[in-house]
Amino acid sequence: MSAYSRQKFVRALLSLLEKHPVKSVAAVAAPEIIKQGWANSLDLISNDLSRELLRQKKHLEISLTSAYDLPHRLRQQIAKFLADQIHADTTHVTVTIDPALLGGFIATTPAGELDASLSSQINQLKHQTNG
Amino acid sequence: MANISLSELSQELRAAINDLQSSPEIKNVGLVTKIGDGIVWIYGLADCGYNEMIAIESTQGEPIYAFALNLEEDQIGAVLLGDERYVSAGAKARLTGKPLAVPVGPELVGRVVDPLGNPIDGLGPIKASATSPVEKIAPGVITRQSVKQSLMTGIKAVDAIIPIGRGQRELIIGDRQTGKTAVAVDAIVNQHRQQTGVISIYVSIGQKKSKVARIVDRLRQEGAMDSTIVVLTSASDPAALQYIAPYAGCAMGEYFRDNKQDALIIYDDLSKHAWAYRQVSLLLRRPPGREAYPGDVFYIHSRLLERAAKLSDAEGGGSLTALPIIETQANDVSAYIPTNVISITDGQIYLESDLFYQGIRPAINVGLSVSRVGGAAQSKAMKSVAGPLRLELAQYRELAAFAQLSTDLDPDTKKRIDRGRRLTEVLKQGQYEPMSLSDQLVVLLAATSGAFDNVRPEQVPAAAQSVLDAAHAQAADILKNVAASGEISDADKNKLISLAQATTVSLSANGATKP
């Protein structure tokens, strides 16, 4: 069991990143991550970092998954909408294409997920009609 | 299929799609990081509340639900309410915003359900009118009134010496195979036979399915299932379901309590409930305490049993009476869980295996059993008989050690011992043979007035039945008055005593005298 929580570790990481370059912080963090048994949870650590960035710096990391490539203007609109909802000052969008969505998009942020995909709507309709 | 035009079909599809709630909403989504032994660990969901229901994506398509029990900084520990084989690591988890709730209402009466309210008796779906959270705060002091109306179990030893009132918590405690469930089931059958209007809820926690099947079958034969709900978790069910079963049953009982009705709930048994909670807590990595139970093992029972109450007239006057059952090991009532529950309840009915094997059934140790509500929950008629009965039994217990020397004792002591033996015989009763108040009164009056003193102890049950038959034949109006009013005048009492003595004299003439 870890001696301290991952949240505390992430907060410490962020405060180090303010003063030191990324490479040296990573070199220091890596052995600690292995020692605490978090080597297989790097995705969770990066999610925690995103959450902490939102909380401290009001910076919003958005992971946008869409069925097709979205035009730049639409991506900006989605980012602005999310920033307004979550009260963030700055945003950064990462795009992934997943044809399984059929249409629409899923925007994942540290504060929650906005699911506007066609596949989810169809599942919802199926669920409603099945009672 | 009727002729439908393409334009009509596309219009219907557009209307259906427009009807969907499609307002953009940012939902909190978590990720399953670990799953095993019925526990799922979820990353994210920072807004999750304690006991909140979480919907987890499953490989089957339909979400599987869990409820959150461990709220940690990095993750949430939730207990699965479905099959963990269909949940995989990486599955998304969403908050429902609602605590764990079960369907409640009169639609559940007569049905056998699981702790989530799903029917498992094969009699079709249940369309319940309402749902209620499984965890609720018990009624406050001001909303209650004192327990003053009796709940008759139909068992002479209980109704006379350890009376139970509506809204009371009376523990049934004893070793395995001493008749604990039999006492509880007789109480349910008696509610039906006497048409008391009390709704019964039998909660099985970790019991054998064969045992519960026998109980349900018996209740159906007696017609008592028409006023009973059975909440079933067996030994093969997950510990999570065994843990929530009593709370689910209590929520169902509270519906009737809060709607001006009386309900009786039996938790069979809370020892297994404590074991299930211990298992869940250890899997959630909570620190173990005494006997590896978590630190709040007292609280799981105290908050459950506090929900049994008699409400004030302003709140409707309904009641929920609880009969929790605890199984002891080697008659050890000073063990951890038994002492916990004894300190919570308003009395206990203590069943001993020694008495059971001696043929004293129900095997109630009247010396160690107590009802803290006492005479307040007894009718006046029963109170008039119970006092002398209790005293004479207490005297017999004190002198029981000398019983084997009865030939060398003074006449008064011998008389007390002989009377005690006959009272012990009178208190024996068959299973599924609950008696009405008037019948109990007849038999106990006969016993305490000495009508059986000249009958051999082994002939006392037959003599009691003869007295009862005679009372039904010759004093039916007195019995009817007692049943209606709960009181008996001195004149009627003397009539019944005379009738009993006359009946036993005629039995003596036929050779049923003591040697």
From the candidates B18, B20, B22, B26, which should be mutated to test the interface with A, based on the most A CB atoms within 10 A?
Answer: B26
pLDDT at B21: 52
Closest-CA residue of chain A to B285: A1
Q: What are the tens digits of pLDDT across the range B448-499?
A: 999 999 889 899 999 999 999 999 999 999 999 999 998 999 999 999 999 9
Q: Is the peptide bond before B411 cis (omega within 30 degrees of 0)?
A: no
The answer, for A129 touching chain B at a CB cutoff of 8 Å, is: yes
A66 and A116 part of one domain: yes
Counting beta carbons within 10 angstroms of the beta carbon of residue B416, is it exposed (0 to 12), middle (13 to 18) or buried (19 or more)? middle
Q: What is the pLDDT of residues B330-343, one digit of tens each?
A: 999 999 999 999 99
Mutation pick from A33, A36, A81, A113 vs chain B, by most beta carbons of B within 10 Å, is A113
Terminal-residue alpha carbon distance, chain A:
44
Q: Which positions in chain B touch A125 (Cβ < 8 Å)?
A: 16-17, 20
Please indicate whether, in this complex, the C-beta atoms of B26 and A1 are within 8 angstroms of each other. no
Q: Is A102 on the interface with B (CB under 8 A)?
A: no
Q: Given an 8 Å threshold on Cβ–Cβ distance, is B17 in contact with A1?
A: no
Mean pLDDT of B303-308: 98
Instruction: Please report, rounded to a whole number, the percentage of residues in chain B having pLDDT higher than 90.
Output: 79
Residues A52 and A72 in one domain: no
Q: Which domain holds residue A48?
A: 1-57
CA distance, residue B250 to nearest chain A CA (Å): 29
Q: What are the DSSP E strand ranges found in B208-318?
A: 228-234, 262-268
Question: What SS3 class is residue B60?
Answer: coil
Is A44 in the same domain as A68? no
Same domain for A51 and A63, yes or no, is: no
DSSP label of B37: T
Active site residues of B: 372
Contact call for B26 and A5, based on CB within 8 A: no
Amino acid letter for position A56: Q
pLDDT tens for B2-12 read 565 777 777 77
Q: How many CB atoms lie within 10 A of CB B461?
A: 17
Tell me, what's the pLDDT at B60? Answer: 84
Rounded CA-CA distance B244/B157 in Å is 33
Residues A13 and A53 in one domain: yes
Both A66 and A119 in a single domain?
yes
Q: Which of residues 263-302 of B touch A (CB under 8 A)?
A: 285
ipTM of this complex? 0.81
Distance between CA atoms of residues B70 and A97, nearest Å:
36
- Are the CB atoms for B100 and B135 separated by under 8 Å? yes
Provide the number of structural domains found in chain A. 2
Q: Compute the mean pLDDT over every residue in chain B, rounded to the nearest whole number.
A: 92
Question: Phi/psi at B78 (nearest 5 deg)?
Answer: -125, 150
Q: Is A84 within 8 Å of chain B by CB?
A: no
Question: B34 — contact with chain A (CB < 8 Å)?
Answer: no
- Structural domain ending residue among the three candidates A13, A28, A57: A57
User: Which residue of A115, A122, A126, A128 is the best one to mutate when testing the B interface, meaning the one whose CB has the most B CBs within 10 A?
Assistant: A115
Give the gap in angstroms from C-alpha B30 to the nearest C-alpha of chain A.
9
Question: Would you call A112 an interface residue with chain B, using a CB distance cutoff of 8 Å?
Answer: yes
CB contact, 8 Å: B72 with chain A?
yes
Give strand pairing partners of B321.
B264
Pairing of strands B26-27, B112-113: unpaired
Question: Residue B187: which of B164, B214, B221 has the closest Cα?
Answer: B164
Both A51 and A64 in a single domain?
no
| Shortest distance, CA A47 to any CA of chain B (angstroms) | 9
Please tell me if residue B125 touches chain A, with a CB cutoff of 8 Å.
no
* B73 vs A contacts (CB less than 8 Å): 5-8
Query: Are residues A127 and A74 part of one domain?
Result: yes
Are residues B26 and A114, on separate chains, in Cβ contact within 8 Å?
yes
Give the one of A7, A111, A121 whose C-beta lies nearest to B74's C-beta. A7
Residue A18 main-chain phi, psi, to 5 deg = -70, -25
Cβ contact, residue pair A44, B27, below 8 Å:
no
Half-sphere exposure of B61 (CA within 13 A, CB side): 4
Residues A80 and A113 in one domain: yes
Q: Pick from B17, B33, B44: which is nearest to A125 by CB?
A: B17
Q: Does B412 touch chain A (CB under 8 A)?
A: no
Q: Do B24 and A114 touch (CB under 8 A)?
A: yes
Q: In B, which residues are within 8 Å of A86 by CB distance?
A: 26
pLDDT score of B512: 53
Contact B510, B458 (CB under 8 A): no
Are A50 and A102 in a shared domain?
A: no
A100 vs B406, residue with greater confidence: A100
pLDDT in tens, A24-79: 888 888 988 888 888 888 888 888 888 888 888 899 999 999 999 989 999 999 99
Q: Which of A37, A57, A77 is the last residue of a domain?
A: A57
> CA of A1: how far to CAs of A4, B187, B285, in Å?
9, 50, 10
Whether residue B313 lies within 8 A of chain A, CB to CB, comes out as no
Question: Each residue of B175-200: pLDDT tens digit?
Answer: 999 999 999 999 999 999 999 999 99
pTM score over 0.95: no
**Set of chain B residues whose Cβ sits within 8 Å of the Cβ of A85:** 26
Residues A50 and A69 reside in one and the same domain:
no
State residue A129's pLDDT score.
Answer: 67
Q: Are residues A68 and A85 in the same domain?
A: yes
Tell me which residue has tokens 């969403």: B94
CB-based contact (8 Å) between A18 and chain B? Answer: no
- Residues A94 and A62: beta-carbon distance below 8 Å: yes
Smallest CA-to-CA distance from A122 within B10, B61, B62, B17 is with B17
> How far is Cα B249 from Cα B284, in angstroms, rounded to an integer?
24
CA A76, distance to chain mean position in Å, is 17
**pLDDT single digits (tens) B28-74:** 899 999 999 999 999 989 889 999 999 999 988 889 999 999 999 88
Domain end point (choices A57, A84, A103): A57
